Amino acid sequence: MSFSGLSKVISNEKTGPQQFLIVLHSPELTKQAKPGQFVHVRVNGLSDPLLRRPISLHEIDYASGNVSLLYQVVGKGTELLSGVPAGAEVDVMGPLGNGFWIPEGVKRVLVVGGGIGNAPLLPLVKELKDRGVEQTVLLGGRTVDYVAGLEGFKSVGVTVETATDDGSLGRKGFVTQLAEDIFTLDKPDYFFACGPEPMLKQLIITADKYGISGQVSLEERMGCAVGACLACVCKIKVKTDEAGWDYKKVCVDGPVFEASEVVFDV
């Protein structure tokens, strides 16, 4: 059963323009956590905004009982979170969602992130490394400042390549173009991705062209995060011979789905 309660803030520091890393001491939550899961977080004691906000687990430290969240300030909830000082407490629920799974027999993978979508990929990259799976990590962003969490990925000791829209870091262009180069030159068995919807959509089309399957982590606005309110539904193909799709809840059926199942609205 997931944890729900107060967690102490160890630190909450600015890591980029409108980007923060918050470290929470939450042993009950941490011991159950796995890559790709998220927490539903609210600044304790404030009823406005009433709803919690979903943020992915960026680091999971089983030894210390700490988890960190890497987040971009985009509105009121994340703005309030950025103002919480070390030593205060925040109200968290988690870990939530299914998380990534590493399919049997996969030996070489591509991990692709875009912007703040890089956040949930770091624990996955660490687990792949621990399991001896060969990997290349591709991280994209609008500019060098928006390639979220880059130093953390580099510190794992895996191959990390970058792409930025303006060429301020790595290849000038989209991270999906880097991915296509790798699909052509050094085809991986599988891919994992998280990022903006247009990026995921393009990546899935490209991977499909090369016959490579994978998993994507989706983001939808959430209400309850426990499957009760239907705020977070997305379209997932039904697994029958018939063409068609059904609604699934990103909070409990995801946020990670098989790439081939996801139906994006155009």
Ligand X SMILES: Cc1cc2nc3c(=O)[nH]c(=O)nc-3n(C[C@H](O)[C@H](O)[C@H](O)COP(=O)(O)OP(=O)(O)OC[C@H]3O[C@@H](n4cnc5c(N)ncnc54)[C@H](O)[C@@H]3O)c2cc1C
Which residues share a beta bridge with 213?
190
Q: How far is CA 140 from the centre of its chain?
A: 13
CB closer to ligand X out of 203 and 216: 216
CB closer to ligand FES out of 110 and 218: 218
Q: Is 119 in the site for ligand X (CB under 6 A)?
A: yes
Binding at 219: pick from ligand X, ligand FES, none (beta carbon under 5-8 Å per type): ligand X
CB closer to ligand X out of 91 and 134: 91
Say which DSSP state 59 is in: E
Binding at 173: pick from ligand FES, ligand X, none (beta carbon under 5-8 Å per type): none
Among 7, 72, 136, 164, binds ligand X (CB under 6 A): 72
Among 32, 46, 74, 187, binds ligand X (CB under 6 A): 74
Q: Is 46 in the site for ligand X (CB under 6 A)?
A: no
Closest separation in Å from C-beta 40 to ligand FES: 9
Binding at 72: pick from ligand FES, ligand X, none (beta carbon under 5-8 Å per type): ligand X
Closest separation in Å from C-beta 52 to ligand FES: 10
Long-range contacts, stretch 158-165, CB < 8 angstroms, 24+ apart: 158/125, 158/128, 158/129, 159/135, 161/136, 161/137, 162/138, 163/138, 163/139, 164/140, 165/141
3-state DSSP of 124-161: HHHHHHHCCCEEEEEEEECCHHHCCCHHHHHHCCCEEE
Helix (H/G/I), strand (E/B), else coil: 259: helix
Which residues share a beta bridge with 221?
none
Binding at 54: pick from ligand FES, ligand X, none (beta carbon under 5-8 Å per type): ligand X
Binding positions for ligand FES, rule: CB under 6 A = 222-225, 227-232, 249, 251
Kindly list the distances between the CA atom of residue 114 and the CA atoms of 46, 95, 208, in Å, as whole numbers in the listed order.
31, 23, 19
Residue numbers at the binding site for ligand X (CB under 6 A): 38, 49, 53-56, 69-72, 74-78, 116, 119, 219-222, 250, 255
